[in-house]
Amino acid sequence: MWLYKPSGLDMVRRRDLAGFSHYQVTGELLRNVSEVMQVTEIEVGSALHELKRRGLPYKYDLNIYRGCTNGCKYCYAVKSHSYLGLESFNQEVVVKTNIADRLEKELSSTNWKKEIINIGGVCDSYQALEKQYQLMRQVLKVMIKYKNPIIISTKSDLILRDLDLLDELAGHTYVNAALSITSADENIAKMVEPGASSPYLRFKALREIDKTKAYTGFHLMPILPFLADDEATLETLVSWAAEAKADYMLTGMLYLTGGIKSRYLSFIKQYYPEYFASYSTLYPKGGADKDYKSKVHGYLSKMRLKYNVNNRYSKFLPK
Ligand code: SF4
């Protein structure tokens, strides 16, 4: 039996879902993720989290899940898990089962100013468990009821399940849906982001979302040195953004700060030992070497011009 009580949260139920793997692991979304995963259902006091950080196009975050089965080797959010007393970010996931009810309460308040809500800033809202829980559908229905603007980014083509709701919401207000794609190579993606949809499925999902009224984004973040930073790969990804008619494409470097560095480098050492020494040279600290960054940025700018891909999402933001 699995026993723990996450601190700082009101836990009312606990389930041991060892048998859960029987129906989830066979699905496309959980490929390569361990068959044993533990899920804790909780009820939360509020759905929205006000961010302290300014300079973002949104002030509020909504995360349905804590923990993420996508299992990205560079995941920056792993740290946020430890305060819950959980060890494995990818295999111990907390589900906020009453999140839509709480959201409704918050959006119906006369104090709420219809601020943009960023959905899934810490964990992917369309990760494998969402297939079962369908909480995003509930959340989107609440957003539609209150015509509340949203931003969402995912690595899963499960977002296509909710195309109807995204389209309906985008008919009322600002909706920005982005797919995060870091490589064009299925094998690399399987290694680096084992629980996410394949890059091609993500690209196809973006193409489908373009048919709705939502704005679409292509997030090439982080750029993966030596694995997916060669000119041919970067050109393919920019051409995908153009082909999917993404309204914008954001790119970002890989940062190896704090605990991410040792975790990521031990992954490289184990699975790509030929690049280990190069990574150590490229990352004397948390950020990549300056010359490397300007070379990659320079090449991406050239490709954006070639494929006419915009890199500014701010121009689509509601006034
Ligand atoms: S999708 Fe985001 S939160 Fe999930 S494992 Fe990958 S980087 Fe972490």
State in Å: Cα 154 to ligand 1 middle.
9
State in Å: Cα 252 to ligand 1 middle.
15
State in Å: Cα 108 to ligand 1 middle.
31
What stretch of H or E contains 39? strand 38-42
State in Å: Cα 124 to ligand 1 middle.
6
Tell me the pLDDT band of 173, cut-offs 50, 70 and 90.
Answer: very high
Q: Classify domain 45-62+98-254+289-316 at the CATH topology level.
A: TIM Barrel (3.20.20)
Residue with CA at minimum distance from ligand 1 atom 4: 68
Per-residue pLDDT averaged across 297-302, rounded?
97
Checking if the pLDDT of 189 tops 90, the result is yes
pLDDT for 81 equals 64
Tell me the pLDDT band of 10, cut-offs 50, 70 and 90.
Answer: very low
What is the CB neighbour count within 10 angstroms for residue 176?
23
Q: For 245-305, where are the E strands, in sequence order?
A: 248-253
Strand 175-180 and strand 150-154: the pairing is parallel
> How far is 36 from 39, CA to CA, in rounded Å?
10
pLDDT for 84 equals 63
Length of the chain: 319
Q: Which amino acid is at 232?
A: A
Checking if the pLDDT of 39 tops 70, the result is yes
Checking if the pLDDT of 31 tops 80, the result is no
Ligand 1 site-directed mutation target among 123, 130, 256, most atoms within 8 Å of CB: 123
Tokens 């699905």 appear where? 27
Per-residue pLDDT averaged across 30-47, rounded?
69
> How far is 163 from 169, CA to CA, in rounded Å?
10
> How far is 83 from 310, CA to CA, in rounded Å?
38
Atom of ligand 1 nearest to the CA of 195: 5
Give the lowest-confidence range in 33-37, 59-63, 256-260, 272-276. 33-37
Atom of ligand 1 nearest to the CA of 122: 3
What is the CB neighbour count within 10 angstroms for residue 227?
22
Residue with CA at minimum distance from ligand 1 atom 8: 75
Cis bond upstream, residue 199 (ω within 30) = no
Atom of ligand 1 nearest to the CA of 180: 1
What is the CB neighbour count within 10 angstroms for residue 23?
11
State in Å: Cα 120 to ligand 1 middle.
10
**128 closest CA partner among 20, 19, 212, 1:** 20
Which residues, judged by CB distance below 6 Å to any ligand atom, belong to the binding site of ligand 1? 68, 70-72, 75, 77, 123-124, 155
* All structural domains of the chain with their residue ranges: 45-62+98-254+289-316
Atom of ligand 1 nearest to the CA of 154: 1
Per-residue pLDDT averaged across 292-303, rounded?
97
* DSSP SS3 for 49: strand
